[in-house]
Each structure stands twice: as C-alpha cells, then as structure tokens.
Amino acid sequence: MKKIKIGVIGAGRIGKIHVDNLRRIPEAEIVAVSDLFAGEELQEWAGSRGIGIVTKDSEEILSNPDIDAVFICSSTDTHVELIKRAAQEGKHIFCEKPVSMDISLTEEALEEVRKAGVQLQVGFNRRFDHNFKRVREHVQAGEIGSPHLIKITSRDPEPPPEAYIKVSGGIFMDMMIHDFDMARFLSGSEVEEVFAQGSVLIDPVFSKYGDVDTAIVTLRFENGALGLIDSSRRAVYGYDQRAEVFGSKGAVSVTNDHPNTAVLTTENGLRSDKPLHFFLERYQGAYMDETEQFIDCLLNGKPVPVNGNDGRQAERIALAAKLSHQQQRVVKLSEIEDLK
C-alpha cells in the first residue's frame, strides 16, 4: 500500500488535531513534527504516536526527501515563507487559514505553488461539516432554485486572550474569513460588494487594537443575490454556527449540533441542553474529512477540494470588509488586488 509521508509544522492545538486525524488514515504516515517550542513534552506526545522526528526547525521537515506533504499549522505570519519553501521542495501542502493577511504575499505563495506544480489545500474545515455540506448539496441540486439571500451566523463561545487579539488580524480576517469562504461555498457565486459594520459590546480590549467584537457584513454576489453575516466573539451558550440559503424555489437552513436530543418538560416549560460548546466538538468530523480528502487527492492525483484561490478570495473579502468598516462605505471587491 502506498502511503503519503507527512511532516507537520506547528504542534499547537490545531497541529495536534491534524496529527490525531492523520493517524486514523491508514494511507498516511507522520514522519516528523516541528515546533518552535518543541521540548520534552512534545517529544513524549509524539513518541506515544510513533512519530520518529521531533524538531524545533521546520527546515528539517522541508528538506527531508522522504516527506511527500506538509501540514502548515504554525502562526499565520510564517505561512507564506513555509508554503514557498515547501513548494520549492516539491512537497504538497495543507495550510491552515488564512494563507496570509496580505493579498500580495498570498499571491507570491500561490505563484510558487503553481510553478512547482504541487497541490495546496487551505484549511476551511467548515466546508466538510455535515450540516453545511448538506446545504450546499441542496443548493447545487437546484432544490431552492437560484439563490437570493445567503445568511450565516457565526458566534464564538468566548473571546480569545488579549495576546491573540493583538496579532489576530481582526475579527474580519481571523474569524469571519471562515464565513466569507462559506458564503462562496454555499452560494456557488463570487462576491462583488462588501459592507461591514462593527461594535465593541463585549470587551473594551478590542478597541485597543482597532478591532470589534460584534460585526455584521453584507455581501452582493455576482448573480445579484445578497448575503448577511452576523458574528460575535461571545455567545454565552456556546458555539453558534448556522446558515440559510433562500432562493426562487425555497430555502434550506441548518442549525447547531447538540450533545443529545433530550427535552425536559416541567411546570417551567421545555428545556434542552445548549449546543456543542466549541469548534473542536462541532467540527471534529469536518477536520477528519478534510484530512482524508487531502490524502485521497494526493494518492489519486485529484485536485484538492479547497485550493489556493479559495484561500485568496476569502482573504480579499476579509480585506474588503476591514476597509468597509474603517471607511464606513460599500467596498467593491474589485478595489482589492486579485491575481496578476
């Protein structure tokens, strides 16, 4: 059996998720893992998973001729350089979102990928979620006719720590980039105009970094359809991830996943448990699926399901939203640099 040999760069929370998912895929073998802060703990963690090489230096992975593909799970500011190096070494790439916060740097990375002829998959895991996938299927099957309105709700259970807020790139790039990708995914159409509004309603710390914690973005798509996204850094009841596509023949909507279906009915009314609390629980299956499909595409020479252009377009919408919010006006996506 042919196996894809993999190096994982960055062993934080998301890197570890990918490692554990990759271990469940018989056709994948994790050869090495690197992390700037690699120490005894990581050594032990990797050892218990049968990973031979643990290093602080990602270059050990990039230059290792045994390795077919890399998972880039390090901080966003390292993505572009790592993609370029991996491409130069002829390695296929799975890169966490966003590729970068600067569209021309993203373009540099994509250009290197194209030149090298390697595959690049961007980590828009939500496309693989059982709920959102089903919406897309209904839309693509024509069951709602042509889309008129695309609605996305995206709320986190709690804000990140200040240290993260500082370097996050802001709510539009850090958090809503998932929603911008989702808007393209669900509608099957490209965005033409963006309008964004934001408020600081949860924690004044966001103001300190020119960021907001509550935001809405409206979109106009090429086909005239309109989009609405609402986002919050804190839904006290847990992760809130819903969507609806409304069209000429009907609508399809998805709501949250819950830990069980129990309903308690008493004198005080009906009560049930709140939604799954965070992305690790809600998107567990989605993370597994995106990884399986990536490996499958490499093995069978098929194009990856979320490519560099998907990464770039979501970034462009995020940049447009940021600009719209700053300037309090509608921003046309054409104002944001695209592929040369």
- Looking at the Cβ atoms of 300 and 328, the one nearer to its own copies is 328
Round to whole Å and give the CA distance between 306 and 296. Answer: 13
Distances (CA, A) of 52 to 89, 104, 108, 140: 21, 37, 33, 44
Q: Does 4 bind its own copies (CB under 8 A)?
A: no
Q: Are 63 and 91 in contact (CB under 8 A)?
A: no
- Looking at the Cβ atoms of 265 and 300, the one nearer to its own copies is 265
Per-residue x/- marks for its own copies, 274-313, CB under 8 A? xx--------------------------------------
Per-residue x/- marks for its own copies, 174-213, CB under 8 A? -------------------x-x-xxxxxx-----------
Q: Does 155 bind its own copies (CB under 8 A)?
A: yes
Whether the link from the prior residue into 98 is cis, omega within 30° of 0, is yes
Question: Which has the closest alpha carbon to 313: 85, 98, 93?
Answer: 98
Residue 331 CB, nearest approach to its own copies (Å): 11
Residue 173 CB, nearest approach to its own copies (Å): 19
Among 36, 38, 53, 149, binds its own copies (CB under 8 A): 149
Q: Are 94 and 71 in contact (CB under 8 A)?
A: yes
Q: Does 103 bind its own copies (CB under 8 A)?
A: no
**Count, residues in the chain:** 340
Among 60, 89, 102, 273, binds its own copies (CB under 8 A): 273
- Looking at the Cβ atoms of 88 and 133, the one nearer to its own copies is 133
- Looking at the Cβ atoms of 24 and 115, the one nearer to its own copies is 24
CB within 8 Å of 305: residues ≥ 6 apart: 121, 127, 128, 290, 293, 294, 297
Tokens found for residue 247? 């069209």
Cα Rg of the chain, angstroms: 20
The alpha carbon dihedral of 47, 50, 52, 57 has a sign of: negative
- Looking at the Cβ atoms of 36 and 216, the one nearer to its own copies is 216
CB atoms within 10 A of CB 171: 28
Judged by CB under 8 A, the chain residues 8 through 47 that form the site for its own copies are: 26
Q: Are 76 and 274 in contact (CB under 8 A)?
A: no
Q: Does 259 bind its own copies (CB under 8 A)?
A: yes
Q: Does 339 bind its own copies (CB under 8 A)?
A: no
Binding site for its own copies (CB under 8 A): 26, 48, 130-131, 133-135, 138, 143-144, 146, 148-149, 151, 155, 193, 195, 197-202, 214-216, 218, 220, 224-226, 228, 230, 232, 234-237, 240, 246, 248-257, 259-275, 328-330
